[in-house]
Amino acid sequence: MDEPMVDAPGQQVKVTFTTTETDLQLPETKRQLLVPADIRRYGLSRILNSESMLDTGSIPFDFLINGSFLRTSLQDYLVANGLSLETNLTLQYVRSLIPPVYEASF
């Protein structure tokens, strides 16, 4: 088989996860990850909660980049800050204080 994955992915960006929550630390080998560039908070939460990551079920997470909460897609964040897909974004995850809002897309 030439291509093991069926769906051709869209653009990706490399992120590094960090947290100060002592009970929610990722092992060092899982902290860097390529994610779809159009991902938002909800999609990132799903990834962190997944079995191969924290395996925590459905904790809603918020993400901080350089001290401010991510409220757009990563792609939009990069564009707004004049950054390219070559950038390695550090995402600090925290338990969300806002009750989980159903977002139209993730």
Partner 1 sequence: ATHLTENGEQEKPLRDYSEALEMWSNFQAKTQSLSQSLSSQLRLILTPTQSTKLSGAFRTGKRLNIKKIIPYIASSYKRDKIWMRRAVPSKRSYQILLCVDDSSSMADNESHASASSSSSSSGRLALESLVMVSRALASLEAGQVGVLGFGTDVFVAHSLTDPPFASSSHDAGARVLQRFTFRQDGTDMVRLLRATIDHFRDARLTQAATSSGQDLWQLALILSDGLVQSRDHARLRPLLREAMEQRVMVVFIVMDDAKGKGKGHSVLELKEARFGPDGVPVIHRYLDTFPFPYYLIVHHLEDLPGALAALLRTWFAEVNS
Q: Which is nearer to Mg ion, 55 or 86 (CB)?
A: 86
The footprint of partner 1 on this chain (CB under 8 A) covers a number of residues equal to: 40
- Residue 47 as a binder of partner 1 (CB under 8 A): the answer is yes
Q: Going by DSSP bridges, is the β-strand pair 61-65/88-95 parallel, antiparallel, or unpaired? A: antiparallel
- Structure-token pair, residue 88: 């390695």
Picked from partner 1, Mg ion, none, the partner binding residue 85 (CB below 5 to 8 A depending on kind) is partner 1
Shortest Å distance, C-beta 47 to partner 1: 5
